[in-house]
């Protein structure tokens, strides 16, 4: 279990700490900076868990901060500690907006309060911001001895230790609404020739709940093709991935076929689609889902992520770029890029950004292009091509030329970094997932409610084209 938690600046010097147990000397954290520095000098592999003198330092980085948990026991649950540290940052950012050195220094009172409430004796306790905000508030409260002004005194909400620990009672809205956002992020790794090396869809169902009382919600999704496959026994599925890898391997054509979302979705139901893993917010009754395959829950108030899923079915690139880079050493580098939106004609990809790496020492760029805007981003050693709106089936191209210094250091400039692409496609999910219904039932209030659903597909954090070395 955790002995203390410290916030340190970018050099590892302590800003604030909270001690939970007595088994470490106060000076232990001072070693952290030196440890870190020594390690960084030796190699660039810096694992998030360091050990010195029998004390383990588990840390994460956030903005310009290190958040370090110290413990002496090898039997400390490391995954719990890291999850807690991330959660801590998440909660703090809801209180402080930006969690960074400056805001830590300015808000130590509230941070001490949070640390006190979120962890006791090194054991994580309460991390639901919605609940914490009920009794840890920025403003100070006066305690009044008599119970007269009871409402003012900060008290832990009753619900805190109930089985529904994420929702206080007595929430009221004039208009009862629930907003569902289905966001699918596509991660894809392609070769310059258009072969897809890896692709996955990471889906999230985000909910913004503005509902009164204690509503019980039931979510229906076109589960024919999705959930049933996941829940069926594995015998039929076990081969599927092998097949998939074959498919990917054989699709070596340099111009991948355009794919239309809806077709994809419907064909998926018959082909071997598999939702790799479903993850639910803690409000979802897991055993109910396990046994009856129904998603039911009492939502927290406000925004939260209801569920996430992942699909590793092979998909064709939605935005494809044919990039050609010619490096004429000692003089210049030439870049040709042809971008294509391989989505339905009706769909539009918004905010498309294509980041193409250029050599570190390149300069004096010149561009030729028909659409969007291009600029050179020297701090990233890349050029950025932005296209605000990119209709399905369209194809745009650009050419760029940058100068290289004439001094030759014998080595060909290397372009190890991949081309990165970002985009958003509204009203469309790649997997074909659809919400059938969202039933809201509040047994006491029996109000009318309005569910809203939005779909969006976007690039994940790893939608890249690997350039030939």
Partner 1 sequence: MPPLDKKIKKFLKDSVRIAPKISSKGELTELRTGLVSPYPQTRKDAIKKTIQQMTVGKDVSSLFPDVLKNIATNDVEQKKLVYLYVMNYAETHPELCILAVNTFVTDSEDPNPLIRCMAVRTMSMIRVDKILDYLETPLRRTLQDDNPYVRKTAVICVAKVFQLDKQLCLNLGVLTDLVSALEDPNPVVVANTIASLTEIYAMDSTVINLNDLIQSHVSKFLLALNECTEWARITILTVLSKYSAKDSIEAQDIIDRVTAHLQHVNPAVVLATVKVIIINLDLTKPQINDPVMKKLSSAMISIMSTPPEIQFIALKNIRIILEKYPELLTKETRIFFVKFNDPLYVKLEKIEILVRLVDASNIKQCTILLNELKEYTREFEPEFVSKAIQALSQLAIKYSKESFCNKVLDILLELLERQDTFKDDCCIAISNLLRHCPTSTQMVTQACGLLNTWVEPELILNRDEAKCNYVWLLGQYPDKFSSLEERILGFVENFRQEDPLTQTAVLATIVRLHTRLPGTILQTILELATKETIVIDIRDMAMMYWRCLSIPGGDELVQQLCNTAPPAIDNILDTFPPEILKKLIQELATISSITFRPQATNAKKYVRPETVVKGKKLDELKNIAKNEIVKNDEVLLDFGDDATEENNKNTTTLDDLDDLFNFGTVLPKESNSGTNLESDFNKLGINGGRQDTNTTSTSTTTQDLMDLF
> Which of positions 228-247 make contact with partner 1 (CB under 8 A)?
233-235, 237-238, 241-242, 245-246
- Residue found by looking up tokens 């962890």 in the block: 119
CB of 395 to partner 1, least distance (A): 27
Residue closer to partner 1 (CB basis): 201 or 374: 201
Q: How many CA atoms lie within 13 A of 253 on its CB side?
A: 9
Burial 101-117 (b: 16+ CB within 10 A, else e): bebbeebeebbebbbeb
Q: Counting contacts by CB under 8 A, is residue 121 touching partner 1?
A: yes
Binding region for partner 1 (CB under 8 A) out of 94-102, 145-153, 218-226, 379-387? 145-153
Q: Counting contacts by CB under 8 A, is residue 108 touching partner 1?
A: yes
Residue 415 CA, distance from chain mean position = 27
For residue 164, the tally of other CB atoms under 10 A from its CB is 13
CB of 20 to partner 1, least distance (A): 9
Options 418, 425, 430, 455; binder of partner 1; rule CB under 8 A: 418
CA-to-CA separations, 287 to 159, 233, 280, 296, 310, in angstroms, rounded: 22, 18, 11, 10, 20
Q: Counting contacts by CB under 8 A, is residue 258 touching partner 1?
A: no
Options 10, 34, 38, 53; binder of partner 1; rule CB under 8 A: 53
Q: Which of residues 439-468 bind partner 1 (CB under 8 A)?
A: 461-462, 464, 466
For residue 355, the tally of other CB atoms under 10 A from its CB is 18
Options 289, 376, 396, 423; binder of partner 1; rule CB under 8 A: 289
Report d(CA 151, CA 137) in Å as an integer.
Answer: 14
Options 58, 88, 132, 425; binder of partner 1; rule CB under 8 A: 58
CA-to-CA separations, 400 to 63, 321, 336, in angstroms, rounded: 34, 15, 7
Options 312, 329, 350, 397; binder of partner 1; rule CB under 8 A: 312
User: CA gyration radius for the chain?
Assistant: 27
Q: Counting contacts by CB under 8 A, is residue 15 touching partner 1?
A: yes
Q: Counting contacts by CB under 8 A, is residue 389 touching partner 1?
A: no
Q: Counting contacts by CB under 8 A, is residue 338 touching partner 1?
A: no
Q: Counting contacts by CB under 8 A, is residue 193 touching partner 1?
A: no
Q: Counting contacts by CB under 8 A, is residue 125 touching partner 1?
A: yes
CB of 284 to partner 1, least distance (A): 8
Q: In this structure, what are the phi and psi dihedrals at residue 192, rounded to the nearest 5 degrees?
A: -65, -25
Residue closer to partner 1 (CB basis): 97 or 360: 360
Options 84, 227, 297, 396; binder of partner 1; rule CB under 8 A: 84
For residue 122, the tally of other CB atoms under 10 A from its CB is 21
Options 33, 64, 82, 453; binder of partner 1; rule CB under 8 A: 82
Report d(CA 208, CA 212) in Å as an integer.
Answer: 13
133 Cβ partners below 8 Å, 6+ apart?
94
Q: Counting contacts by CB under 8 A, is residue 369 touching partner 1?
A: no
């Amino acid at each position: 279990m955790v002995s203390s938690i410290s916030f340190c600046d970018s050099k590892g010097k302590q800003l604030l700490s909270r001690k939970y147990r007595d088994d470490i000397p106060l000076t232990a954290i001072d070693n952290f900076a030196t440890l870190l520095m020594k390690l960084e000098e030796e190699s660039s592999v810096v694992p998030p868990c360091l050990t010195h003198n029998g004390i383990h330092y588990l840390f994460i980085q956030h903005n310009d901060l290190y958040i370090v948990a110290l413990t002496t026991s090898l039997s400390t649950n490391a995954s719990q500690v890291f999850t807690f540290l991330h959660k801590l940052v998440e909660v703090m950012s809801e209180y402080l907006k930006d969690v960074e050195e400056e805001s830590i220094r300015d808000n130590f009172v509230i941070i001490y309060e949070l640390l006190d409430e979120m962890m006791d004796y090194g054991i994580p306790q309460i991390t639901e911001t919605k609940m914490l905000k009920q009794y840890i508030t920025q403003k100070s409260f006066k305690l009044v001895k008599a119970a007269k002004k009871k409402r003012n005194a900060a008290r832990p909400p009753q619900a805190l230790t109930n089985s529904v620990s994420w929702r206080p009672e007595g929430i009221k809205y004039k208009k009862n609404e629930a907003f569902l956002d289905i966001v699918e992020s596509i991660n894809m790794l392609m070769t310059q020739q258009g072969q897809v090396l890896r692709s996955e869809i990471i889906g999230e169902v985000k909910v913004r709940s503005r509902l009164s009382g204690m509503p019980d919600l039931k979510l229906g999704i076109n589960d024919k093709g999705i959930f049933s496959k996941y829940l069926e026994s594995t015998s039929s599925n076990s081969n599927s991935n092998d097949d998939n890898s074959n498919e990917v391997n054989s699709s070596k054509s340099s111009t991948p076929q355009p794919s239309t979302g809806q077709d994809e979705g419907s064909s998926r139901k018959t082909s071997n689609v598999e939702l790799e893993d479903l993850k639910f917010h803690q409000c979802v009754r897991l055993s109910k889902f396990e046994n009856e395959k129904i998603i039911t829950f009492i939502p927290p108030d406000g925004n939260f992520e209801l569920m996430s899923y992942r699909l590793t079915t092979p998909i064709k690139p939605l935005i494809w770029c044919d990039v050609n880079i010619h490096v004429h050493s000692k003089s210049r580098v030439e870049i040709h890029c042809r971008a294509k939106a391989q989505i339905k004609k009706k769909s539009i990809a918004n905010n498309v950004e294509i980041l193409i790496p250029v050599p570190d020492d390149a300069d004096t760029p010149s561009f030729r292009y028909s659409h969007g805007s291009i600029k050179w981003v020297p701090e990233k050693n890349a050029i950025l091509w932005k296209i605000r709106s990119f209709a399905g089936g369209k194809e745009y191209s650009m050419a760029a030329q940058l100068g290289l210094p004439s001094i030759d250091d014998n080595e060909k400039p290397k372009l190890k970094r991949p081309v990165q692409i970002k985009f958003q496609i509204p009203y469309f999910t790649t997997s074909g997932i659809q919400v059938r219904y969202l039933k809201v039932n509040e047994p006491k209030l029996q109000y009318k409610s309005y569910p809203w659903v939005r779909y969006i597909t976007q690039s994940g954090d790893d939608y890249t084209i690997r350039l030939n070395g």
